[in-house]
Structure 1
Amino acid sequence: MCDEKQLQTWAKDTLSRREFGAFSGAAALAACTPGEANGTDANTSEASGDVTESSVSFETEDGTMDAFFVHPSGGPSPAVIFWPDIASIREAKRNMARRLAGEGYAVLVVNPYYRDVAGEQFADFAAWIAADGFDAESGFALVAPWREKLDADAIGRDTAAIVEWLDGQDAVDTSRGVGAEGYCMGGPFTVWSTAAVPERVKAAASFHGGGLVRGDDPKSPHNMLDQAQAEYLIAVAQDDDAAAPDDKAAFAEAAEAAGRPAVVEVYEGDHGWTVPDSPAYAQAAAEKAFADKLELYARAL
């Protein structure tokens, strides 16, 4: 359902490096609603308004995972696992998590690349595109060896460790289900999360997620829905749908066969439309996606 490389190609073909850097900063600021934190040092633990945030780390079967944790200051809340896109943890993602925490959720933005690197690797999407020169291949080349380790089994192990850590936090209401949301490459991780810990992960929201339908592969996300007990929001980018128009029906049919509630919808935005520092960011469509996600969590968590 997606190809992240088109974001790099789009930026290379249409914007200069300076223009894209300016665009990314302006979009990230625009995504912050009044009163939201905007630039809190992620290496500190501090309260800002009605939320508290900190950098955290914990052990998994594969090493030490680092993450950004933000939650309401007033009491325990349902938890959400936040799987970022290919550029991983950065301020745009922290701001997205802060906004969700302001709606009453304890949000953990995880570093999916922790097996190889810790902490923020790219300040914004422009930095990923320009990782080794403003070049449509460089960002992919850099993350490829990290990314290839992120299969269904690895994400399953990670999810088990994440849920165990979340359930040990005073800020998490363990009587409520856990949500999982993912962007681009993080989209399939949400489905794998629901299959890995079905008794806890009760909602998954994939935004312009890639690789949700992988043919007859038994580890394809759409073929693992019968292992879950969750409800799904599959938000598809319009250009991704044009490239693979049969995928949305295949996922919806698999969900129906598994008896899992799923909304599979094509949004009026291109790949990356929900992410403030993406060149494809489309605010109106992003706001609709955010509202739809809140409706899912209200029902399922």
Structure 2
Amino acid sequence: MCDDDIHQGLIEDTSLSRRTFGLMGAAVAGLAATAAGAATSVVEKDVEVKTADGVADAALYHPEGKGSWPAVVIWTDVVGLRPVFREMGRRLAASGYVVLVPNPYYRVKRAPVVEGGFNFANPDDRAKLALLRPAVTADGTARDAAAFITYLDGLPQTDRKKKVGTQGYCMGGPLAFYTAGAVPGRVGAVASFHGGGLYTEAANSPHLTLAKTHAEYLVLIADNDDKKEPAVKDQLKAAFAEAKRPAKVEVYAAGHGWTVKGGQVYDEALAEKAWAELLALYKRSL
């Protein structure tokens, strides 16, 4: 997983209170529909998914009307399921996908897991996450991924003839890798945005899952993360080549967290570029 200090730049997200969590949903829905040109209306609802370890709360999105579409699992960053990731799920569904955004901390607490504002520069705020992070493990994520994809495959809106996509942000990058390793026969595309800990010396390093997967990968790295660990991009490229997996590994001239609205380092132009690369990946691979 990515360390707390990797969040240099992602300083504040003030949209985290439970009240705001609910109120922003309706407002953002209208904005998202407008941004998508209102061409595709989206159905959204909160759901509960049974897993091997309990019941996970999650947000589900799919296009309105009859039809079936490829499924996608979105893994959030370290602060978890909140309005900005709901907006992301809504936007992706408007492009023609069935999208599940789970709460990665469901074993400990329902979303939102942080009340009020959150500041990564504040040790007290970072301490809140310290109580949650142990609940997210490689083995647990593999079990969860299987459950989430089984759930999606059971929906009439999911086109089971199409492969599943998965994308992760910061902490979610490794979780997306683990998802492809856990359900290799279903996952066709994996995207990591400023993901931390994708290549480590640990026995459960995410890159070690590559050999068993059948997915295409998109790994977009923040410039400040690359400066901290300049060897990682080349290590990942070598790992993809060895596993014979098609992949794009690129360093963006942006700070860690640039794709997530609400942070001080959010870069709209580069976030949109990353989003376009994601949609192109899914169009090719799902």
Q: Same fold (TM over 0.5)?
A: yes
Q: Which residue of 1 aligns with 2:184?
A: 198
Deviation at 1:139, TM superposition (A): 2.8
The answer to whether structure 1 residue 264 and structure 2 residue 263 are counterparts is no
Distance in structure 1 (CA, Å) of the matches to 2:33 and 2:139:
40
Deviation at 1:56, TM superposition (A): 0.1
Deviation at 1:49, TM superposition (A): 6.2
Cα pair 1:7 1:280 within 8 Å, conserved: no
Q: Which residue of 1 aligns with 2:276?
A: 291
Distance in structure 2 (CA, Å) of the matches to 1:180 and 1:10:
23
Deviation at 1:144, TM superposition (A): 1.7
Unaligned runs of 5+ in 1: 12-16, 38-47
Which of 69, 73, 98 lines up with 1:77 in the alignment?
A: 69
Q: Which residue of 2 aligns with 1:152?
A: 138
Deviation at 1:270, TM superposition (A): 0.5
Q: Which residue of 1 aligns with 2:24?
A: none
Q: Which residue of 1 aligns with 2:34?
A: 35
Matched to 1:143, the amino acid is L
Which of 107, 110, 117 lines up with 2:99 in the alignment?
A: 107
| SS of alignment partner, residue 214 of structure 1 | coil
Matched to 1:72, the amino acid is P
Q: Which residue of 2 aligns with 1:185?
A: 171
Matched to 2:256, the amino acid is H
Deviation at 1:201, TM superposition (A): 1.1
Distance in structure 1 (CA, Å) of the matches to 2:164 and 2:258:
25
What RMSD over aligned residues (CA atoms) do the two structures have, in Å? 2.6
Q: Which residue of 2 aligns with 1:92?
A: 84
| Residue correspondence of structure 1 range 62-73 to structure 2 within 5 A | 62-73=53-64
Cα pair 1:7 1:279 within 8 Å, conserved: no
Which of 203, 221, 225 lines up with 1:236 in the alignment?
A: 221
| SS of alignment partner, residue 219 of structure 1 | coil
Cα pair 1:58 1:65 within 8 Å, conserved: yes
Deviation at 1:167, TM superposition (A): 0.4
Q: Which residue of 2 aligns with 1:5?
A: 5
Cα pair 1:97 1:109 within 8 Å, conserved: yes
TM-score by length of 2: 0.88
Do the aligned partners of residues 2 and 238 (structure 1) sit closer, same or farther apart at CA in structure 2, a change above 3 Å counting? Answer: farther
Deviation at 1:292, TM superposition (A): 0.2
| SS of alignment partner, residue 118 of structure 2 | helix
Deviation at 1:148, TM superposition (A): 1.6
Distance in structure 1 (CA, Å) of the matches to 2:3 and 2:160:
36
Do the aligned partners of residues 142 and 21 (structure 1) sit closer, same or farther apart at CA in structure 2, a change above 3 Å counting? Answer: closer
Unaligned runs of 5+ in 2: 21-26
Q: Deviations over 1:55-107 (max 9, x none)?
A: 00021111110100011113211010000011111111111111111111111
Cα pair 1:213 1:247 within 8 Å, conserved: yes
Q: Which residue of 2 aligns with 1:40?
A: none
Q: Deviations over 1:248-270 (max 9, x none)?
A: 11011001100111100001210
Tell me the percent identity: 42
Q: Deviations over 1:221-278 (max 9, x none)?
A: 1122001111100010010001100001101100110011110000121000000112
Question: Size of the alignment, in residue pairs?
Answer: 273
Matched to 1:5, the amino acid is D
Matched to 1:220, the amino acid is S
Distance in structure 2 (CA, Å) of the matches to 1:182 and 1:214:
17
Matched to 1:108, the amino acid is L
Do the aligned partners of residues 203 and 187 (structure 1) sit closer, same or farther apart at CA in structure 2, a change above 3 Å counting? Answer: same
Q: Which residue of 2 aligns with 1:122?
A: 114
The answer to whether structure 1 residue 164 and structure 2 residue 155 are counterparts is no
